[in-house]
Chain A
Amino acid sequence: MTQTPDTAKPGSLKSMRRLAEPLVEKLVALNGALAIIFVVLIMAFLLRDGLPVFRSVSVSKFLFGRDWYPLSDQFQTLPLILGSLAVTLGAVVIAVPVGIAAAVYLAEIAPVRVREILKPTVEVLAGIPSVVIGFIGMVVLAPWVKGAFDLPTGMTALTGSIMLAFMAMPTIISISEDAIVAVPRDYGSGALALGATSWQSIAGVTVPAAKSGIIAAVMLGIGRAIGETMTVLMVTGNAAVIPHSLLQPVRTMTATIAAEMGEVAQGTPHYFSLFAIGLVLFLMTFAINLIADLALQRTRVRR
């Protein structure tokens, strides 16, 4: 600390300031801890209003039972968990390869001018509200899916996966691109000097060197997809049954909370069960973010 000796007379404005300083620092530190406080508070509220559901249903029934019939007090969430996983998996299958390929293109191949047009476009995609994406999915994609696969309805897991893929892509692209750009130029140049083509240098040296960052990008993309609410609520058809194919309606955990919370009375098992689903979601995204953070930490340590 660069504290100067306090020469001010006691009681003067200057000494008041000196006295106030430690107080201010305490206040600032308290605000610094805000993020921790809110994570803990969110967790606490999910536990407080979620755990009581296990008075009416066992943990294993809640997680692995097949019947989600809130009206007859059946709170078994396997169809919802599988619904979330199915939609997310479909989104990942589309968004990961396409997103990483676009990131490699933007970072390594695209001419500066092209990149300056494409990057804002990706940012626009990131900025479109999920309810607008859901609306587009409903009126544009769903009829197309219905026609293309000759289905009774276009509101399917696949429709949700496609829309979610586009919502996860900006995350995957921008974080992967940052990771690729951060690889020291010398790595690629070394490969080129040994006679490799640019593609060999990109695929064999640069991209592998950015692996941790790309893993983090994929994890965060998955987190975004699994937590997305409005889009899946609007386009997946919301049938709480165990999904057997991507071409049938499903209902995700997020959509269930959004659709049913408005109608339940506080303190009922249904109310508690929706908080418990929130708790499961929170723990899932917490784990996903933790993995992503560890991966990013590794890239920082190495450089």
Chain B
Amino acid sequence: MRLHPMVKQRIAFAILSLSTIFVVLPVLAVVYLLLARGLPAINWTFLSQSPVHMMREGGILPAIVGTIYLIIGTTVFALPLGVMSAIYLSEYAKPGPFTRLIRLSIVNLAGVPSVVYGLFGLGLFVMLLHFGASLLSGSLTLAILTLPVVITASEEALSSVPQSFRDASLALGATKWQTTVGVVLPNAVSGIITGLILGIGRAAGETAPILFTVAAFYLRDLPHSIYDQAMALPYHLYVLSTQVPNAPPKIQWGTALVLLALVLGMNLVATTIRAKYRRARKW
């Protein structure tokens, strides 16, 4: 039996839209579940107190604080390194095998499994450099994981600055470096920040890289220095779901919701900056 081409088209389009629904519906269901079951857990006590009674009661403050410290630490390392690397690619690199090798490395770095970053951080920062399991080791590990995103986004932002801006600056007698720092970089700032927040947002939700480099099961005090271990939201959720028998579901869902809100919130900030910047572009 041969179907009429238009009938075939109808069937095909129906299958395609069903597939899309199959992707989208579970996402909405997950977000709904997290809101429905997580929101009732969230109150001031939950956000401002430490866990008590073997983590079956109390709040998640140390985990929130630890994750915020990791976000700051990761930014401190990933931003300058990523931007300098992007400046090289956008302003200085000439096409050739070296540049090709850099790009290939960035692609591969982006594809390295997160747990392998954890092994690397353990080998280099925790063991070889003797930073121990600490905020410093964790931040450095997450920074390397974030680098591909920061480099790629920053390079795109830098290269989208029109050549005429550079020409004008060079014609006025500025050196190449002065032009890059004084003219190109300021015009790429919002693109760079967008990429940075996207990258850090992803890093903040990662568990495997911090398992052996910083994460602590339970700490009574908040970390005091960069050489201290810290609790972190993703690891705390893992602990609550697998290591604490009979942990109340309410606390689990609440922790999951806070983590998701933090990560998606950062994504939202990034996309808002991007949208604004596209509208306000001077060229």
Interface residues of A (CB under 8 A from B): 1-2, 4, 17-18, 20-21, 24-25, 27-29, 31-36, 38-39, 41-42, 45-46, 48-49, 97-99, 101-102, 104-106, 109-110, 118, 121-125, 127-132, 134-136, 138-140, 166, 169, 173, 196-200, 203, 220, 223, 226-230, 234, 254, 257-258, 261-262, 266, 274-275, 278, 281-282, 285-286, 288-290, 292-293
Closest to B128 in A: A45
| Pair B111/A285 contact, Cβ less than 8 Å | yes
Which B222-238 residues have C-beta < 8 A from chain A?
234-235, 237-238
Q: State whether B249 touches A4 (Cβ < 8 A).
A: no
Instruction: Give the chain B neighbours of A99 by CB distance below 8 A.
Output: 23
Question: Which residues between 176 and 214 of chain B lie within 8 Å of chain A, taking CB atoms?
Answer: 176-178, 201-202, 205-208, 211-212
| Interface size in chain B (residues, C-beta < 8 A) | 86
Return A3 CB to nearest CB of chain B, in Å: 9
Known A49-B123, A135-B237, A173-B23; contact A282-B256, beta-carbon cutoff 8 A: no
**B12: A residues at CB distance < 8 A:** 199, 203
The answer, yes or no, to whether B68 is at the interface (CB within 8 Å) is no
- Which residues of the other chain, B, contact A134 by a CB distance below 8 angstroms? 238, 241
B102 at the binding interface (Cβ < 8 Å): yes
Identity of the chain B residue whose Cβ is nearest the Cβ of A289 in the assembled complex: B111
Q: Which residue of A lies closest to B252 (CB)?
A: A135
A-B contacts, 30 listed (Cβ < 8 Å): A2-B170, A20-B177, A24-B177, A31-B85, A33-B98, A34-B84, A35-B109, A36-B101, A36-B105, A102-B19, A105-B13, A106-B20, A109-B17, A118-B20, A118-B24, A124-B31, A129-B234, A129-B259, A131-B237, A166-B23, A166-B26, A169-B23, A227-B111, A230-B234, A230-B238, A234-B242, A275-B123, A281-B115, A289-B111, A292-B107
- Is B30 an interface residue, CB under 8 A from the partner? yes
B138 to chain A, nearest CB (A): 14
**Are B116 and A42 in contact (CB-based, < 8 A)?**
yes
Q: How far, in whole Å, are A234 and B148 apart by their CA atoms in the complex?
A: 27
Is B6 an interface residue when CB atoms closer than 8 A count as contact?
yes
Decide yes or no: A197 and B23 within 8 Å by CB, A262-B212, A285-B111 being known contacts.
no
**Which chain A residues lie closer than 8 Å to B27 at the CB level?**
121-122, 124-125, 128, 166
* B275: min CB distance to chain A, Å: 12
The distance in angstroms between the C-alpha atoms of A209 and B123, with both chains bound, is 45
Distance between B37 CB and nearest chain A CB, rounded to angstroms: 9
Q: Are A230 and B123 in contact (CB under 8 A)?
A: no
- In the bound complex, what is the Cα–Cα distance between A286 and B81 (angstroms)? 23
A234 and B252 alpha carbons, distance in the complex (Å): 14
| A135 cross-chain contacts in B, Cβ below 8 A | 237, 241, 252, 256
Contact B123 A48, beta carbon cutoff 8 Å:
yes
Chain A contacts for B13, CB-based, 8 A: 105, 109, 199
Binds A, one of B39-47, B48-56, B86-94, B156-164: B86-94
Contact B120 A32 (CB under 8 A): no
Question: By the criterion CB–CB under 8 Å, are A35 and B111 in contact?
Answer: no
Residues of B within 8 A of A25 (CB): 92, 176-177
A36 to B102, CA, bound (A): 6
Residue of B30, B31, B173, B241 near A138 (CB, 8 A) is: B241
Most buried by B among A48, A97, A132, A289: A132
* CB proximity of A58 to chain B, nearest CB, Å: 22
Q: Which residues of A contact B108 (CB under 8 A)?
A: 39, 285-286, 289-290
Q: Name the B residues within 8 Å of A290 (CB-CB).
A: 104, 108
Q: Which residue of A lies closest to B176 (CB)?
A: A21
Do residues B119 and A257 form an inter-chain contact, with CB atoms below 8 A? yes
Q: Which residue of B lies closest to A122 (CB)?
A: B23
B135 to chain A, nearest CB (A): 18
Whether A129 lies near B207 (C-beta < 8 A) is yes
Among candidates B34, B176, B207, B242, residue contacting A229 with C-beta atoms closer than 8 Å: B207
Q: CA–CA, A140 to B19, complex, Å?
A: 21
A18-B175, A127-B267, A131-B234 as given contacts; A38 in contact with B24, CB under 8 Å:
no
User: In the assembled complex, how far is the CB of residue B94 from the closest CB belonging to chain A, in whole angstroms?
Assistant: 11
B104 with A229: CB separation less than 8 A: no
B60 beta carbon closer than 8 Å to chain A: no
For B109, the chain A residues whose CB sits under 8 A away are 35, 38-39
Q: Provided the pairs A227-B115, A261-B211, A288-B111 are in contact, do residues A101 and B241 lie with their beta carbons within 8 angstroms?
A: no
Our pick among A31, A32, A261 for the contact of B119 (Cβ within 8 Å) is A261
CB-CB under 8 A from B101, the residues of chain A are: 36
Report yes or no: B120 in contact with A42, Cβ–Cβ below 8 A: yes
- The contact of A32 among B93, B148, B205, B256, by CB within 8 Å, is B93
Which residues of B1-24 are within 8 A (CB) of A?
5-6, 8-9, 12-13, 15-17, 19-20, 22-24
Q: B82 CB to closest chain A CB, in angstroms?
A: 8
A170 nearest CB neighbor, chain B only: B23
Docked-complex contact B259 and A127, CB < 8 angstroms? no
Is B5 touching A234 in the complex (CB atoms < 8 A)?
no
Judge whether B113 and A285 touch: CB under 8 Å: yes
- Contact bitstring B240-261, A, C-beta under 8 A = 1, else 0: 0110000001001000100110
Kindly state the separation between the CA atoms of A254 and B9 in the bound complex, as whole angstroms. Answer: 43
